Amino acid sequence: MDGNGRWAKQKGLLRVVGHENGTKSVREVVEASAELGIKNLTLYAFSTENWNRPKIEVQKLMKLLVKSLKKEIKTLQDNNIKLSAIGNLNDLPKNAHSELLEVIDKTKENNAMTLTLALSYGSREELINVVKELSNKVKNNIISSDSIDESIINKHLYTQNLPDVDLLIRTSGEQRISNFLLWQIAYAELYFTPILWPDFRKADLYDALIAYQNRERRFGKTSEQLS
Ligand code: FPP
């Protein structure tokens, strides 16, 4: 969800106003995804690197998170959406952490769609944790190193309950991954749009999905093999 800061700057507003308007796009994209029957939507809301931003901006983002969670619990319940989160959640301020856990608990029986928020998330940190956990298990003879395969690694990731990513959308014209789900996007289709996140609306999500539908996902095979 990139481009909040630039959106605000273009309008002569404070960066935090960009983030506030970004929450409207979050609502649109969540609603549109649920309407379309998408089973999993993951939003990169705050990276491990984002802690290095000015303190006032970090505080505002955390406040926005709490406000959005309080406000949107009804939308989640009405649309049968389960909330989930990935990342180093213990890094979050206490009130944000407890509000998050509360909404996760209240929506745990919902099953139309899983909305996952990546918060204090960094893919390299996630992978480092996997390596540490697996090496401990090998050291303690719980598993053998020979048994380590893709499925064991998947089971140790934050995303253990999620399938691989099919489509990754990045807004604002930047064409990079920025430490997001590096393992999980191995075969994802990448879609970059110049639209700044606060301007991203349902129609823009549909454009991304249409582009995705027109891709040929070969997973290493030839086109002929697929047909
Ligand atoms: C990146 O834009 C955006 C973020 C770091 C925060 C995303 C947060 C929201 C959309 C609002 C809160 C989210 C939830 C889930 C309630 P940027 O600030 O890097 O923009 P720039 O690159 O133009 O400076």
**Structural domain includes residue 70:** yes
Q: Over its length of 227 residues, how does the chain's per-residue pLDDT go in tens digits? A: 999 999 999 999 999 999 999 999 999 999 999 999 999 999 999 999 999 999 999 999 999 999 999 999 999 999 999 999 999 999 999 999 999 999 999 999 999 999 999 999 999 999 999 999 999 999 999 999 999 999 999 999 999 999 999 999 999 999 999 999 999 999 999 999 999 999 999 999 999 999 999 999 889 999 999 87
Ligand 1: does its nearest atom lie under 6 Å from the Cβ of 2? yes
Beta strands in 54-206 (DSSP E): 81-86, 113-121, 167-170, 189-192
| Number of structural domains the chain divides into | 1
- pLDDT for 227: 77
Catalytic residue of the set 40, 50, 110, 129: 50
Alpha carbon 140 to its chain centroid, in Å, reads 33
**Structural domain includes residue 139:** no
Q: How far away, in angstroms, is 126 Cα from ligand 1 center?
A: 21
- pLDDT for 208: 98
- pLDDT for 217: 86
**Structural domain includes residue 38:** yes
**Structural domain includes residue 154:** no
**Structural domain includes residue 222:** no
**Structural domain includes residue 129:** no
Domain extent for 181 = 4-122+166-215
- The CATH code of the domain that includes 206 is 3.40.1180.10
List, in sequence order, every residue forming a beta bridge with 48; answer none if it has no partner.
none
**Structural domain includes residue 220:** no
**Structural domain includes residue 157:** no
Does residue 166 have an active-site annotation? no
Residues 6+ apart with CB under 8 A from 7: 18, 21, 22, 196, 197, 198, 199
